[in-house]
Amino acid sequence: MTKRVFFFGDGKAEGDAKRKDLLGGKGVGLVEMTSLGLPVPPGFTVSTEVCVEYMQKRAVPAEISKEIADALVKVEASVGAKLGDPANPLLVSVRSGARASMPGMMDTILNLGLNDETAAGLAKKTEDERFAYDAYRRFITMYSDVALGLEREPFDQALERVRVRVAGAKGVDAARCNAEELKKKVPDSEIPEGELKKLVVELKALVKQKSGKDFPTDAKAQLQGAIEAVFHSWNNHRAIVYRKMNDIPDSWGTACTVQAMVFGNLGDTSATGVAFTRNPSTGDKKLFGEWLPNAQGEDVVAGIRTPMHIDGAENDTLEKKMPAAYKTLTDICQKLEAHFRDMQDLEFTIQNGKLYMLQCRSGKRTGKAAIKIAVEQFGEKLISREEAVLRVDPQAIDQLLHPALDPKAPIKLLAKGLPASPGAASGHIVFSADEAERRAGQGKPVILVRVETSPEDIHGMKAARGIITARGGMTSHAAVVARGMGKACIAGCSAISVNYANETMTITVYDDAGRPTETVTKKKGDIVTIDGSTGSVFDDAVPTVPASPTPEFTELMTWADAARKMKVRANADTPLDARTARSFGAEGIGLCRTEHMFFEEDRIAAMREMILSDTVEAREKALAKLLPFQREDFIGIFREMRGLPVTIRLLDPPLHEFLPNDKKQIDALSVAMSVSVDKLHARIKELHEFNPMLGHRGCRLAVTYPEIYAMQTRAILEAAAFVSKEGIDVKPEIMIPLAITKEELDRMKDIVERIAADVSKEAKVAYSFGTMIELPRAAIKADELAKTAEFFSFGTNDLTQATLGLSRDDAGKFLPAYVDAGILPKDPFTSIDQPGVGALVRLAVEKGRAARPGIKLGVCGEHGGDPQSIDFFGRVGLDYVSCSPFRVPIARLAAAQVALRSSFE
Amino acid sequence: MTKRVFFFGDGKAEGDAKRKDLLGGKGVGLVEMTSLGLPVPPGFTVSTEVCVEYMQKRAVPAEISKEIADALVKVEASVGAKLGDPANPLLVSVRSGARASMPGMMDTILNLGLNDETAAGLAKKTEDERFAYDAYRRFITMYSDVALGLEREPFDQALERVRVRVAGAKGVDAARCNAEELKKKVPDSEIPEGELKKLVVELKALVKQKSGKDFPTDAKAQLQGAIEAVFHSWNNHRAIVYRKMNDIPDSWGTACTVQAMVFGNLGDTSATGVAFTRNPSTGDKKLFGEWLPNAQGEDVVAGIRTPMHIDGAENDTLEKKMPAAYKTLTDICQKLEAHFRDMQDLEFTIQNGKLYMLQCRSGKRTGKAAIKIAVEQFGEKLISREEAVLRVDPQAIDQLLHPALDPKAPIKLLAKGLPASPGAASGHIVFSADEAERRAGQGKPVILVRVETSPEDIHGMKAARGIITARGGMTSHAAVVARGMGKACIAGCSAISVNYANETMTITVYDDAGRPTETVTKKKGDIVTIDGSTGSVFDDAVPTVPASPTPEFTELMTWADAARKMKVRANADTPLDARTARSFGAEGIGLCRTEHMFFEEDRIAAMREMILSDTVEAREKALAKLLPFQREDFIGIFREMRGLPVTIRLLDPPLHEFLPNDKKQIDALSVAMSVSVDKLHARIKELHEFNPMLGHRGCRLAVTYPEIYAMQTRAILEAAAFVSKEGIDVKPEIMIPLAITKEELDRMKDIVERIAADVSKEAKVAYSFGTMIELPRAAIKADELAKTAEFFSFGTNDLTQATLGLSRDDAGKFLPAYVDAGILPKDPFTSIDQPGVGALVRLAVEKGRAARPGIKLGVCGEHGGDPQSIDFFGRVGLDYVSCSPFRVPIARLAAAQVALRSSFE
């Protein structure tokens, strides 16, 4: 039988302070602080194992109650008071504390141990009747809510009625105040003891009325109920949601800490406060915190009284008002940082001039602060370089790379969508790409609003500051392209209904509870602000602050680059993308999509001519027109990427994507190409597909029309030859999409080699030939494909779609429900589905390496920029990940972390 | 060094007669016949290994030439003549013979050994100058074509010019004849020796002119060239195509047999013929064949002279004309059947009254004959029951189960499409389901012609005799439903263009070479005939013969049932289907699709009401209307299937499939349901999916709308309870479609168990709960799914689509090209892709069994009726296959064969 109740107090603590899994974060903090000899009120922690057992059995086993009773005796001895002793009552707090921090998610009960007798005893002992009955009424309310499960509202109303009475006595017209105003006019401290005593009687009657039972007067029974309530709160709704959002397993359970109360509300020599050992927002190495004299902890966050700074220029700092306690606190901060080797988040209470520590934990911080703290702590020799690299959440550094909303600006939230591409932007809304381009050309900032975007909107997206789409998921066209451009984008914002004809959008605004409150219509030219990092659309212009990579960021990235094993490349389709990618540290292009190159106005015509041709000759003629464009594109990209590999994927999308689909455009095309509208319709109908995702695309196009890949290969190799002659080192990697058989690759290789032989008559160019692995069969037959392919690039977007049978264009309708319900732990298009899709990646890695040792393996799906996925890719041993340029730093850091973690394992 | 040249002759043969892989079919036949002491001209076979070597090195190695020379000496000794000896020339034939029969696919050279000197010698020896020079000119032509690779046309033209001259001499006006008519008017036998001698000179000059070299006069060099030509012919285009069609590996190579010539064209005591030891069409145990006096083998098949029967009532039978040779032949037939224990296909030549055997091999036969022969040969104790079962190609018995075209009727082919559902049918064409029903109601046979069908056409398909669609593949809606109904269907008949407005179809008619020859327009009411077994559409009514299961068929199926290990179930959605399935021997229903039940007129309204409802309550109200219908359906099915398991798949298709998509229907629905057209359009738009295959369907529907599955479960269990009360044993198996996680199954099981608990208050019903495995992730996580699922049914259609990233609705545009080019060996929707999809099936079987020993495993995709796939399923150890009712006998036989083959391994 393992120990399950752990005492701490008087400078000694039971249990292994490393066992955060058993003691929870709060428990471990208290154990560590106690062992360090810091002033911590004594108490004990009931382990998470008991919570797990409680969840199964719906009761705390008797043998554990015995352990609890023993621990309580030690607390009583330490304090010199007894739980339930009217003469000298011990009061305790009962709090939850999980392995991972879940602030505010679970329930807490303070002042436990009060009943009519002990309340009287407390009043006598503290010589403060008001204090004692204030504590008592607080306790009844909290306990009734948390442990008895009674509705909180009537308890709060009873207090409000008291406040109204007191207000009347003060001459305040309570009828003209709302509850918040009333609280400010009649703060708790002004409610006289007589009223509090009456309130206690009323509250107890309320308990009897609502529950049919008397409020429990036995202090030990109170304790038992409170501990069970804490365990129970592990499964309350907001805790479940929080865990899901933060990837915390439901199975962990929470620990429960019972601790002797200390009081910050015993008069002007008492106080309470919270502090960070460094500034959690900027990372500055300076104590940062707030305090309130004569207050309990909850008052600091309640917002009725404005807390004061702990130090600084003001006159009401803790430093100036209580210098001794301040000195103790700063000493403690130093000790704790030295001990925990990380920035700490603290709670303290000063009771009659003596400072007590109630909590310490690693403090949450912004990305910017995380980097600064990690780099400076290395400088202070607190942590190693490797630890510094591991301290920063890769996702968090995204903030540094994009403009953000000014946190001080007032905002009105209109709608929430998916945070498809980070960054903040304000602008005039427009509903077409052309209009976006026109207005941007006039120097106006615009936000492009579309139901969804298609490749024909690219020029508008380029021109816009930000993009909103009403439909589409995290990997919709808009999302992918916007991330590639580093532009703010909100996708799938279903509260918005777009009317193209009127050039308006109508937004249903919801309150926090998800109820629609109003309908707002915005017309072309109106200004909105979007925050792509959170998916929020705000009314009007909200000031933004620009991206700000700090010197510490640059330093940390150098360390990360030294630590990582995987290379990081970028997905880039244009010379401009390529330059951006290089500036963010990309070590090559992992995916250059050639089809985006065909959508520009002067090219789409030739592309359409090719599609509408009936013979190989006619197609070759049309393709010949595209050749110089493609060659120019590649020349530009090769120049930018000098010395680095460039993986070029040959044409992938189905041909119908290049044809127009509305009547007006078809009519125009008919005139432009001298092809009858009927013929156009017939060809469009012929190319229509029920499931284009699973249709005639990728290398299947080149099986039917080999001349397309022939042209593209020629463009690549001629461009490479041209740039080589400039003395630039060129490393083209020709990549075949959607292959599922070796035979396909063999045919494609034949095309490529034929063209290469032809081009090499002019100038020899080295290139390599490889394939995407983006369908389950490709992964299963990777050993076969590796006989022909010199490299694999996992297209995990498509691989996810096929493996899960989930269209990313359609899944938006039900995938959120799947994630909410825990059927899938995460959106599999955001973070790779490791048990499913990951198993295929792993299989293909093994088979590919077995068939061709040294085969180059990378990933170029959206997952290449997701830290959790990068961790997986590092563990399966890929050679590189490729992601959108703006995520390259994130990927560099994530790749470093997986390398470091692996080296520790 | 293994032996690679095998002599046979004089009653003795070298080599192991069992080594068909080395000697090829023809070689083994000759070895066996020689060893049996039958009259076989001597010769030798060069093994397939030499062919494989030749294909690699492009030459026959010298050491093998030595072996060949040695074997030739033995042949010369046996015959008493020498190759190239002008005084006594030996002539030989050189023929290919692969391990598997590839009739007419590779090249043959006869009369080898002739040059000017030996031709003169042959003339002298046979005292027949005409015969000698006829043989010589034939040899030059054949050798030039096959071994020298010269174009055949000029050689044939030279002969034709001779014929024209001879015709002129006979007074025939050759100018008015085409080539074929001229051949009949001037048969080879009427060309005088003088003309033949001149022709030989002319042909030799032609060789010199075309090849720049003299025709080879050295007989040994001729032989070397001929052998190499035979090996070379293994890779000619038609052979490659044939191998692909018949699943013969390219790597096998062909053997080459060199054999002393015997001549059937030495006068009236000589003859040639072909025979089967039993009737290959009916299976009757009676010699069946044709012969021609004074002719060479090729004349029998050339069609210029009409061959005569070998026996029978006519006066010109071999029996009557050459009774001694006939007696020898019948004796030989008996010996060969006894030896080979199978029906034989023979070639023989009678030279001057003496009969020689040139070939014997197992004869090809119709399905009906195959069954009759196998069953009778068991009766004759020639073969075991197990062998009899293995002798019949399961695919071939399909013929017996459907009406067929009368083979004697004249036909005009209009178009070819996919053979989507077998059987022949004639009828008036109609273009709508309603019209089909109307006309069928008047007792008229109709053929329903649609661009493609949808579930709303079901009533028309039911009413029609056959279905043609212009679009769609082997697993399109039309194909699947027609096979389920056992109705003839041709899908994807792209030569047909349907005009619904005019109620006409226009057919582009192509000739054999694929050139369009004419355009035929057929209007409503015109009659056509279709053969769903071949995909052919014929003009007008062609008489058909009805399906005819024979007593032998019934017998054979009993044996098959005794042999097999896998159960065979049927896919059946209605009581009528269920009855049909049982009548074909189904041992349960493996797939009952519940959605088809919703398309009938009185139900679709409630279904649409459900889809258009905004609240759970409204949906439940609409579903309550469907409940009695569903319950009735299941009651009917359970009654039919008494005692047998019925696997019911809960709703699978996306909801938009139930909404109309044309304006007229939407308007009508708006009126019928009192819902505004705008709202209808909005809902249709909302439900629209880019890739419905990968969309909101299967159990994903029930995650969003659990009430749907709740209603269906209730209908199933209430029906089961009802039928149980009638004393009928009911075995419902509730199957969840499209699951990819255990969590989904757990939720579905919760729904099912909740309803079961409710229904069981009335009457307890046992049921089992399982899932489809139809997405790669389901296969990969089969161990997890098996924790909740009591059975798996592999949905290999969808599994193929997802694994290969191939939409069966769209793949028709490029899949044929893939199969033609050998990129995929077969249409993966017809026969399971064993290396890809099969690997996932195998994985899921292993994981499922590991997690739940005894888990029931079946397959319910279209592959469940494909013999090659069934073989695979048998080898991975599935418990059952399920297929359309009309394929149940095929599956029973195929399942027996895999069991027998496994037991022999």
In this predicted structure, the answer to whether residue B757 has a pLDDT above a threshold of 80 is yes
A805: chain B residues, CB-CB within 8 Å: 693-694, 738, 740, 774-777, 798, 802
B787: chain A residues, CB-CB within 8 Å: none
A722: which residues sit within 8 A by CB, 6+ positions away?
A631, A635
Inter-chain residue contact A693 with B692, CB threshold 8 Å:
no
pLDDT tens across A64-106, in order?
999 999 999 999 999 999 999 999 999 999 999 888 877 666 6
Picking from B740, B805, B810, the nearest residue to A689 by CB comes out as B810
A836: chain B residues, CB-CB within 8 Å: 740, 776-777, 780-781
In this predicted structure, the answer to whether residue B872 has a pLDDT above a threshold of 70 is yes
The predicted pLDDT at position A20 comes to 87
Query: Is position A333 annotated as part of the catalytic site?
Result: no
Q: Burial of A694 by CB count in 10 Å (0-12 exposed, 13-18 middle, 19+ buried)?
A: buried
Pairing label, strands B536-539, B446-450: unpaired
Q: Tell me what the pLDDT averaged over chain B comes to.
A: 91
- pTM score: 0.83
A&B contacts, CB < 8 Å: 167
Element (H, E) at A733: strand A731-736
Q: Which of A333, A493, A592, A860 is catalytic?
A: A860
Inter-chain residue contact B814 with A700, CB threshold 8 Å:
yes
Q: Which of B477, B493, B592, B883 is catalytic?
A: B477
Inter-chain residue contact A807 with B780, CB threshold 8 Å:
no
**CA-CA distance, B179 to B262, in Å (whole number)?**
29
Inter-chain residue contact A806 with B690, CB threshold 8 Å:
no
The predicted pLDDT at position B314 comes to 87
Confidence of residue A540 (pLDDT cuts 50, 70, 90): very high
The predicted pLDDT at position B171 comes to 83
pLDDT tens across A880-899, in order?
999 989 899 999 999 999 99
**How many H-runs (helices) and E-runs (strands) does chain B carry?**
35, 34
The predicted pLDDT at position B106 comes to 67
Tell me which chain B residue has its CA closest to the CA of residue A693.
B691
B824: chain A residues, CB-CB within 8 Å: 741, 743
**CA-CA distance, A200 to A114, in Å (whole number)?**
11
Inter-chain residue contact B690 with A810, CB threshold 8 Å:
yes
Please say whether the beta carbons of A140 and A200 come within 8 A. yes
The predicted pLDDT at position B808 comes to 86
A823: chain B residues, CB-CB within 8 Å: 703, 741, 743-744, 747
Pairing label, strands B496-499, B504-510: antiparallel
Q: What amino acid is encoded at A704 in this protein?
A: T
Most B-contacting residue of A700, A772, A815 (CB-CB within 10 A), to test interface:
A700
Q: A469, A466, A436: which is closest to A529 by C-alpha?
A: A466
B752: which residues sit within 8 A by CB, 6+ positions away?
B709, B713, B734, B767, B769
Kindly give the residue spans of alpha helices, DSSP state H, lying in B149-218: 153-170, 179-185, 193-211
B413: which residues sit within 8 A by CB, 6+ positions away?
B509, B536, B537, B538, B539
The predicted pLDDT at position B40 comes to 97
The dihedral region occupied by A96, where left means phi > 0, alpha psi between -120 and 50, and beta the remainder, is beta
* Number of Cβ atoms within 10 Å of the Cβ of B808: 27
Helix (H, G, I), strand (E, B) or coil at B381: coil
Inter-chain residue contact A805 with B694, CB threshold 8 Å:
yes
pLDDT tens across B548-590, in order?
788 999 999 999 999 999 999 999 999 988 999 999 999 999 9
Confidence of residue B851 (pLDDT cuts 50, 70, 90): very high
Most A-contacting residue of B741, B820, B837 (CB-CB within 10 A), to test interface:
B741
Inter-chain residue contact A690 with B807, CB threshold 8 Å:
yes
Inter-chain residue contact B691 with A691, CB threshold 8 Å:
yes
Lowest pLDDT segment from A428-437, A595-604, B20-29: A595-604
A748: chain B residues, CB-CB within 8 Å: none
The predicted pLDDT at position B32 comes to 93
| CA dist list (Å): A322 to A113, A354, A654, B823 | 30, 10, 73, 83
A803: chain B residues, CB-CB within 8 Å: 775-777, 780, 802
Inter-chain residue contact B805 with A775, CB threshold 8 Å:
yes
Most B-contacting residue of A740, A745, A748, A799 (CB-CB within 10 A), to test interface:
A740
Q: How far is B662 from chain A (nearest CA, A)?
A: 16
Lowest pLDDT segment from A507-516, A778-787, B548-557: A507-516
Q: A109, A137, A118: which is closest to A197 by C-alpha?
A: A137
Lowest pLDDT segment from B379-383, B590-594, B649-653, B815-819: B815-819
The predicted pLDDT at position B516 comes to 79
In this predicted structure, the answer to whether residue B447 has a pLDDT above a threshold of 80 is yes
Q: How far is B777 from chain A (nearest CA, A)?
A: 5
**CA-CA distance, B859 to A673, in Å (whole number)?**
51
Lowest pLDDT segment from A466-480, A716-730, B116-130, B337-351: A466-480
In this predicted structure, the answer to whether residue B303 has a pLDDT above a threshold of 60 is no
The predicted pLDDT at position A300 comes to 66
CA angle A635, A641, A645 (to 5 degrees): 100
Helix (H, G, I), strand (E, B) or coil at A93: strand
Picking from A743, A810, A822, the nearest residue to B696 by CB comes out as A810
pLDDT tens across B332-349, in order?
999 999 999 999 999 999
A498: chain B residues, CB-CB within 8 Å: none
The predicted pLDDT at position A850 comes to 97
ipTM of the complex model: 0.82
B700: chain A residues, CB-CB within 8 Å: 814, 818
pLDDT tens across A283-325, in order?
999 998 889 998 887 776 555 677 888 988 888 999 999 999 9
Picking from B775, B805, B814, the nearest residue to A804 by CB comes out as B775
The predicted pLDDT at position A132 comes to 95
| CA dist list (Å): B5 to B22, B68, B359, B589, B734 | 10, 6, 19, 56, 63
Lowest pLDDT segment from A137-151, A193-207, A571-585, B600-614: B600-614
The predicted pLDDT at position B301 comes to 59
Inter-chain residue contact B802 with A776, CB threshold 8 Å:
yes
Q: What are B338's two structure tokens? A: 């006894």
In this predicted structure, the answer to whether residue A703 has a pLDDT above a threshold of 90 is yes
Inter-chain residue contact B694 with A692, CB threshold 8 Å:
no
In this predicted structure, the answer to whether residue A817 has a pLDDT above a threshold of 90 is no
pLDDT tens across A653-685, in order?
999 989 887 888 888 888 888 888 888 888 888
Cα A680 to chain centroid, rounded: 46
Q: A337, A334, A338, A341: which is closest to A384 by C-alpha?
A: A341
**CA-CA distance, B97 to B106, in Å (whole number)?**
8
> Does B457 or A277 have the greater pLDDT score?
A277
In this predicted structure, the answer to whether residue A480 has a pLDDT above a threshold of 60 is yes
CA angle A89, A90, A93 (to 5 degrees): 140
Q: How far is B536 from chain A (nearest CA, A)?
A: 23
Inter-chain residue contact A823 with B703, CB threshold 8 Å:
yes
Picking from A689, A703, A835, the nearest residue to B817 by CB comes out as A703
Tell me which chain A residue has its CA closest to the CA of residue B818.
A703
Lowest pLDDT segment from B106-120, B130-144, B201-215, B674-688: B674-688
- B5-19 mean pLDDT: 87
Q: Which of A232, A402, A428, A477 is catalytic?
A: A477
The predicted pLDDT at position A303 comes to 57
A837: chain B residues, CB-CB within 8 Å: 777
Lowest pLDDT segment from A99-113, B219-233, B532-546: A99-113
> Does A816 or B103 have the greater pLDDT score?
A816
Helix (H, G, I), strand (E, B) or coil at A103: coil
pLDDT tens across A10-36, in order?
989 987 778 888 999 899 999 999 999
In this predicted structure, the answer to whether residue B1 has a pLDDT above a threshold of 60 is no
Inter-chain residue contact A803 with B807, CB threshold 8 Å:
no
Query: Is position A477 annotated as part of the catalytic site?
Result: yes
pLDDT tens across A394-410, in order?
988 887 888 888 888 88
Q: How far is B27 from chain A (nearest CA, A)?
A: 34
In sequence order, the β-bridge partners of residue B468 are B449, B490
Inter-chain residue contact B803 with A775, CB threshold 8 Å:
yes
Lowest pLDDT segment from A349-358, A730-739, B412-421: B412-421
Q: How far apart are the first and last CA of chain B?
A: 29
Please say whether the beta carbons of B92 and B224 come within 8 A. no
**CA-CA distance, A110 to A226, in Å (whole number)?**
10
Q: Please give the share of chain B, as a percent, with pLDDT higher than 70.
A: 98
A804: chain B residues, CB-CB within 8 Å: 740, 775-777
Q: How far is B803 from chain A (nearest CA, A)?
A: 5
Q: How far is A892 from chain B (nearest CA, A)?
A: 30
Inter-chain residue contact A694 with B813, CB threshold 8 Å:
no
The predicted pLDDT at position A457 comes to 85
Tell me which chain A residue has its CA closest to the CA of residue B835.
A781
pLDDT tens across B357-410, in order?
999 988 888 888 999 999 999 999 999 999 999 999 998 888 788 888 888 888
pLDDT tens across B719-734, in order?
999 999 999 999 999 9
Picking from B694, B806, B821, the nearest residue to A810 by CB comes out as B694
Q: How far is A414 from chain B (nearest CA, A)?
A: 22
Lowest pLDDT segment from A675-689, B93-107, B437-451: B93-107
The predicted pLDDT at position B513 comes to 64
Q: Tell me what the pLDDT averaged over chain A comes to.
A: 91
B740: chain A residues, CB-CB within 8 Å: 804-805, 836
The predicted pLDDT at position B820 comes to 77
Inter-chain residue contact B805 with A738, CB threshold 8 Å:
yes
Inter-chain residue contact B810 with A738, CB threshold 8 Å:
no
Pairing label, strands A544-545, A404-405: antiparallel
Q: How far is A723 from chain B (nearest CA, A)?
A: 36
Please say whether the beta carbons of B290 and B297 come within 8 A. no
Computed on alpha carbons and rounded to an integer, the radius of gyration of chain B in Å comes to 33
